[in-house]
Amino acid sequence: MSIERMGKIGGKFLLLTIMVTMVAMLSVSCAKKAKTPEEYKIGAIFASTGPASMLGLPEKNTAEMLEKSINEGGGINGTKVKLVFYDTGGDATKTVTATKKLIEKDMVDIIIGPTTSGNSLAIIDVVEEAQIPLISAAASVRIIQPVKTWVFKTPQTDVMAVEKIYEKLQKDGVKKIAIITVSNGFGDSGRVQLKNLASKYGLTIVADERYGGKDTDMTVQLTKIKGTDAEAIIAWGTNPGPAVIAKNRKQLGITIPLYNSHGVASKKFIELAGDSSEGTYLPAGKLLIVDQLADTDPQKKVLSEYKWDYEASFNSPANTFGGHAYDAFWIAVKAFENALKNNREPTKEAIRDEIEKLQGFVGTGGIFNFSPEDHNGLTKEGFVLVKIEGGDWTLAE
Amino acid sequence: MMTLSLMKKPLAGFVLFSILLLLLPFTVTNDYYINVLIIIGINSIIVIGLDLLVGYTGQISLGHAAFYGLGAYITGILSARWAWPPIGGLLISLVMVGILAFLIGIPTLKLHGHYLAMATLGLGIIVFIFFQELDFLTGGPSGLVGIAPMSLFGIPFDSDLSYYYLVSAFLLATLLLSINVVRSRVGRALRAIHGSEVAASVLGVNISRFKVGIFVLSALYAVTAGWLYAHYITFISPSSFGFMFSIKLITMVVIGSLGSLWGAIFGAALLTSLPEFLVVFENYETSVFGLILILVMIFMPRGLMRGLEDLIKRMIDLGRQNLKERSPTS
Amino acid sequence: MNRPQALCYKIKWGPDTGPPRYDHNNMTFEQQILQYLITGVTVGSIYALIGMGFNIIYNSTEIINFAQGEFVMLGGLLTVSGMQLLHLPVPFAAILAIVGVSLIGITLDRAAIRPPKDPSPITLIIITIGASIFIRGMSSLIWGKEPYPIPAFSGEEPIPFFGAVIQPQSVWVMGVALIVVLSLRQFFGRTLTGKAMMASAVQPRAAKLVGIEASYMVLLSFALSGAVGAAAGIVIAPMSMVQYDMGVMMGLKGFCAAIIGGIGHPLGVVFGGVILGIVESLGAGLISSGYKDAIAFVILLLMLFFRPQGILGKTKGERV
């Protein structure tokens, strides 16, 4: 049988075999060695690219910064910490794949992340089945309610953000509100909570508008709101959408107050919206107004340290999202330490138990008190309501 | 010798590919790669169908992620909201999407070229928006949780390895069906349509029927893939089925080689696993991915499968020439 | 399962409160409609501008350039850089950005479009998709992922218009779109170079026979299309902000505008863009802002089914 007689399909098949084998061999050669006991492995999955990268990138940076600083300080009881990071791109499939990679290939002890609520929900089944602790950095309350054995999260839930705004509205005697939310996981989660909690604060939603994350103009939605008898507007999204809303609101001459979500809790929003941001409100983590906090505030020290370290390392302003990763990383480290303190081998199970028992941990998002019923450990006091005045935030309480 | 003579037979490639699929898990050292292989398998099923439409029939679709998403969402909703078994989800979604694709296909496939591209793209976006907005059913942009893991006729497919074999079985079934379609009278009709629709209709080919038929078939492949995806990941959100994924699918077809079923599988395998290898480029990952697309198209405009084939043929020719030169007496 | 109460929802196609008829905030229904139309025309003008970029390249090569949206993004971001790094006033930064994006267009042609021998249209489409991914990736590294503002060209004081308002920037957007479309019409219809560009696309061989250098025409079209894309990005930036990933959506909408109007048709794209913009904005205002893109696409699909060659496109004879 001579070589040129290889039939058409046969030839193609041979080619395919060669290529698939090559891919397989590459995978084999890429496979990393098994876990060494001399280091504790923390897996991290954040959306450092893609639509949520404005949140994910500071989270990744923060985790890397902490890995470095903790190891420089001698690690956890002398054992080095190793961070294994994968980018999710904000994509559910990629997140699941990355999680499995962390569990099966890198054999990490604990996972922090992912960035978005949708991605966190996507991997809950995976981590529950693999029995590995997860500390999510995403907002949605659905991640921890109902309570899952292995799943925790650091950011204040969107419920708390909504309550902070609604408290103020109730105090101001507002009865009718208009909401405008972005069509993605963040906006949707906010929209659900805004609707659920409205009646509790005696509020009626008279307009429920949506916008696309890349829309160029929101005058249509705002015109519609202008035609209703709403007494306040609540916008739920991340930059640049809310900045466009703020501008359009001013141009349309709408005078009722505008409340934003914690999604725009960064200087960027003020820069983008300019004058139009004046007089608007938003709930934010205390990181934003650390300079205005009283010296007696228990969080002040942690917040100023984080802010200073981050800004010195990356030359860009620290934001709340990086803070979520900061809290998650430290909670993981604390859990290792406490397990060792209690003379327990820091297995996944021991780490999980220690997180659940962690009390009074002062983080950037608030003071965490975990319990078997509460895998977030924060109260709405982690948020402050701020008003934008003179291009800066001031406490509005 | 035995294997070489086997290759002359038309379906020999298929048999050998089955054996390869069977053995592949044993070559990987880490369970994690099984997971990558599963995703490759699922993508391959969609891409094979898309290749029938784009490569063999010459009709572009920039909205195939919609059918994939419909497959995932219909079974997902039935499973998460009403606890239907997966097999029921598959049957219902095949029927529903089959009818939908048929009804949409009739007016849509009358369009040509860029207009067809635009129409399919629009369909993709409309379906995507429904995933987002029908939140009482789909869970909205945050996604749908609570989809049951795969279980067929009482057999659970809960490990990655068992799921791999399940996906492989569906991939092989898809492939076998496609090989038959391509080699049959239908396949010749499709190629005639690709060549020239007018000529084909003059020759008595009912163009519309064939085009719509193949459109429905490729939609059903995508539905099957979506079904496999939903019960594997057990969580779905609209962003997995958007415009960008449709584009990625087309890219897989073209990079693999248009009008080659093996090429379709190869394209899916390559573009699905490529990010795994590009991790080393860190922040440059996305850019390198784009660069690779450009380079492949520049150096192998007919796709990798055809390109490598040409390359090997040329090498063989070269080898034979050398042989002749060295022994002029023989 | 997770939210069983949700099952009791009904599909609501309108706002929760019924049609917004009462003018508590001093805006009548008619004024609202007017406001929707103004927004629709503004947004539509942007789509039209981007669509023109598609048309230019299509007219001389019959390629759909999927990197067109990235030209828009680059125009905006280069302007930001011109302002921040070189401290240029907006007009100069804008001109610099337009020139810069033209050069990027030329590079794209030379480096990626020209090299493959005898490419099929789909090959070229994948190349432009690759290019758009590459450009987006690089831009995210150069400019980061945060959006940037550009100050409005002539302030932000709204112009009252029969009870509705027009943003000054809207006037700029519409003006630029109008100027660009008229100049392009003039260019392709009246000048020798323009006619040569058209000719080399329709009949490359015949064009060559009469001495038109096709490759030069393609180069020119990429430069021109880059310039028009950049202009669109700059003029929209004060309204929508600029961000590394804005190009996808922009390109998509521009492509639709071009197709609806009849691809390659210089005036069609304006109709296409404005119709898309108005349908979107009326859909959002009167029916549902969540479904606005779906409403727009359903109407566009229906149009395509009845006029498969676009609104102003001519029916082409089938080539056998």
Distance of alpha carbon A282 from alpha carbon A397, whole angstroms: 12
Residues of chain C with pLDDT under 70: 1-26, 313-320
Q: Do A185 and B237 touch (CB under 8 A)?
A: yes
Considering chain B, what percentage of its residues have pLDDT values greater than 90? Answer: 52
C-alpha pair distances (Å), B164 with each of A114, A209, A282, A356: 26, 43, 48, 36
Residues in CB range of C49: below 8 A, 6 or more apart: C173, C176, C177, C180, C228, C231, C232, C235, C254, C273
**Diameter over CA atoms, chain A:** 91
| Cα separation, C32 vs B247, whole angstroms | 38
Three-state DSSP class for B330?
Answer: coil
Please list every residue in chain B whose beta carbon sits closer than 8 Å to the beta carbon of residue A87: 285
- pLDDT given for residue B4 in this prediction: 40
pLDDT of residue B227: 97
Strand, coil or helix: B29: coil
Report the alpha-carbon distance of residue C97 to residue C103 in Å, rounded. Answer: 10
- Provide the pLDDT for residue A184: 85
Q: Which residues of chain A have pLDDT under 70?
A: 1-37
Question: Is residue C168, in this structure, part of any structural domain at all?
Answer: yes
Q: In 3-state terms, what secondary structure has residue C12?
A: coil
Domain spans of chain B, in order of start: 31-285
Q: Which residues of C, range 184-223, sit inside 8 Å of A by Cβ?
A: none
For residue B154 the two structure tokens come to 């009482």
Higher pLDDT, B205 or B298: B298
List all residues of chain C from 108 to 127 with a beta carbon under 8 Å from chain B: 112, 115-120, 122-124, 126-127
- Optimal mutation site among C143, C297, C299, interface B, most CBs of chain B within 10 A: C297
Task: Say whether the peptide bond before residue A372 is cis (omega within 30 degrees of 0).
Answer: no
Question: How close A60 gets to chain B, by Cα (Å)?
Answer: 12
Task: List domains and CATH numbers for chain A.
Answer: 39-153+301-364 (3.40.50.2300), 159-291+383-395 (3.40.50.2300)
Taking the C-alpha atoms of residue A119 and residue A110, their distance in angstroms, rounded to an integer, is 17
Residue C45 in contact with partner chain A when CB distance is under 8 A: no
Distance in Å, alpha carbon of A118 to nearest chain B alpha carbon = 5
pLDDT at B9: 53
Helix (H) / strand (E) element for A230: namely none
Q: What is the pLDDT of residue B291?
A: 92
DSSP lists the bridge partners of residue A79 as A76
With H, G, I as helix, E, B as strand and everything else as coil, classify residue A126. helix
> How many domains would you assign to chain C?
1
SS3 A233: strand
Residue of B nearest to A4 (CA): B316
Q: Which chain C residue's Cα is nearest to B285?
A: C137
Q: Determine whether the interchain pair A13/B17 forms a contact, defined as Cβ–Cβ distance below 8 Å.
A: yes
Q: Which domain holds residue C234?
A: 48-269
CATH topology of domain B31-285: ABC transporter involved in vitamin B12 uptake, BtuC (1.10.3470)
A138-151 confidence digits (pLDDT tens): 988 889 988 999 99
DSSP E strands in B149-206: the ranges are: 151-152, 155-156
pLDDT digits (tens, 9 = 90+) for C20-66: 333 445 678 889 999 999 999 999 999 999 999 999 998 888 888 99
Q: What confidence tier does B90 reach under pLDDT thresholds 50, 70, 90?
A: very high
Give the long-range contacts of residues A16-24, CB within 8 A, separation 24 or more.
A16/B13, A16/B17, A16/B262, A16/B265, A16/B266, A16/B305, A17/B16, A17/B20, A19/B266, A19/B269, A19/B308, A20/B20, A20/B24, A20/B269, A21/B27, A23/B269, A23/B270, A23/B273, A24/B24, A24/B27, A24/B28, A24/B33
Using an 8 Å Cβ cutoff, are A28 and B28 in contact? yes
The strand pair at A361-362 and A367-368 is best described as antiparallel
Which residues pair with residue A389 across a beta bridge? Answer: A392
What mean pLDDT is predicted for residues B165-179? 95
Q: Please, how many CA atoms are within 13 Å of residue A98, restricted to the half-sphere of its CB?
A: 26
- Report pLDDT for B215: 95
In chain B, what residues touch A192 (CB-CB under 8 Å)? 140, 142
The number of C-alpha atoms within 13 Å of A306 and in the hemisphere containing its C-beta is: 31
pLDDT of residue C166: 93
How many contacts (CB atoms, under 8 Å) link A and B?
167
Q: Which residues pair with A182 in a beta bridge?
A: A211
> Residue C158: closest CA among chain A residues belongs to which residue?
A251
Provide the terminal-to-terminal Cα distance of chain A, rounded to the nearest Å: 88
Residue A18: phi and psi, rounded to 5, are -60, -45
pLDDT value at position A25?
52
Residues sharing a CB contact under 8 Å with residue A50, sequence separation 6 or more, in sequence order: A56, A88, A89, A90, A91
Residue B226 binned pLDDT confidence (cut-offs 50, 70, 90): very high
Tokens 């006091």, residue located:
A381
Neighbours of chain A (3+ CB pairs under 8 A): B, C
Output the CA torsion C76→C78→C81→C82 (10° steps).
-100
Within-domain flag for C20: no
Least confident of A195-209, B83-97, B102-116, B314-328: B314-328
pLDDT at A37: 57
DSSP conformation class of C113: I
Residue B328 is predicted with a pLDDT of: 55
What is the predicted pLDDT for the residue at C135? 96
- Section B63-82 average pLDDT: 96
Record: contact B80-C310, CB cut-off 8 A: no
Beta bridge partners of C166: C159
d(CA C304, CA C259) in angstroms, rounded, equals 9
